[in-house]
Amino acid sequence: MITAIAGQVSSFVTIFLGIFIEAAPFLLLGAIASGLVESFVSRDDLTRLIPRNAFAATLIGGLIGFTFPVCECGVVPLTRRLLRKGLPLSTGISFLLAAPILNPVVLASTAAAYGWGKMLAARFMLGFLIAVAVGLIFSLHQSPQNILLLPTSQPTGENTAKRPIRPFRTRFQAVLRIAGDEFFEMGRFLVIGSLLAALMQTLVPQATLLAIGTGPVRSVFIMQILAFVLSVCSTVDAFLSLAFVNTFTTGSILAFLVFGPMVDIKSTLMFLRVFKKRYVLYLVVMPLLLTTLATVFMNLNLGW
């Protein structure tokens, strides 16, 4: 009995440290990017870069995901900072969901795991389409300020061009200060999310899920649950998914690779620092449903 408990505790600690150590560097990268945005990007810059048309702006948000090497942890503080700077809500949502899948690090790791074939193309195309679709749905909301948890003191209409240009050293110091604040604020939720993910993995063995994960429909749900529970960083999840290739349908593997980077335990907790609870639920459910519909269709009609 004692030996079994000790084994579970050891497994819990190992899983927790694995998730946290894997994600922390990318959270730090996202925090630094957040500091750079705050210090070197003005609201006017965003206004010039982002189209006024909601559809075009949402597409741009998804495409920006190609340029930032941040996973699902690092993208949250960066997105929050961009939204505070005046980035349109739909653009921020599509970037938030697309970047963990489309960024160059994930591109390289997916290509290394699956080669330059249909799985790589399907992951990036489906991830981009779902991110844009969710962003467009959010663009229909009439009052974006009611969705976001932004400070009441946050300016909403000032002309940042009138501000005096600060010396580079001062701005660089601000980058470090903001990055530190963002890292420790979001880091609390990374720790809590990692603890919950480790607890779930310890109490619910993967073998239990694998045993019920057959069929073109059920396998998709099981792999999405597994992705949510495992909370593996999107930079390495392609290699982990290889272990399920001979057990699950191809569509369910794709669901794991698309839904997991968008939503897992730790990123969901971080969303609560950016969006109100009701809309965090939407951010979880909409990618889940869209991923399910697409991958089940592939399983049933494309022979996946």
pTM attached to this predicted model: 0.82
Is the residue at 161 inside a domain?
no
Is the residue at 195 inside a domain?
yes
What is the domain count for the chain?
1
Is the residue at 150 inside a domain?
no
Please give the span between the terminal C-alpha atoms of the chain, in angstroms, as a whole number: 44
* Residues 41-50 pLDDT 10s: 777 777 788 8
Q: Which domain holds residue 59?
A: 2-141+168-301
Cα within 13 Å of Cα(163), Cβ side? 12
Any idea what the Cα angle at residue 275 is, between residues 252 and 68, rounded to 5°? 60
C-alpha torsion angle, residues 254, 258, 259, 262 (rounded to 10): 170
- Give pLDDT < 70 ranges for the chain: 1, 150-166, 200-201, 204-213, 303-304
Is the residue at 202 inside a domain?
yes
Is the residue at 184 inside a domain?
yes
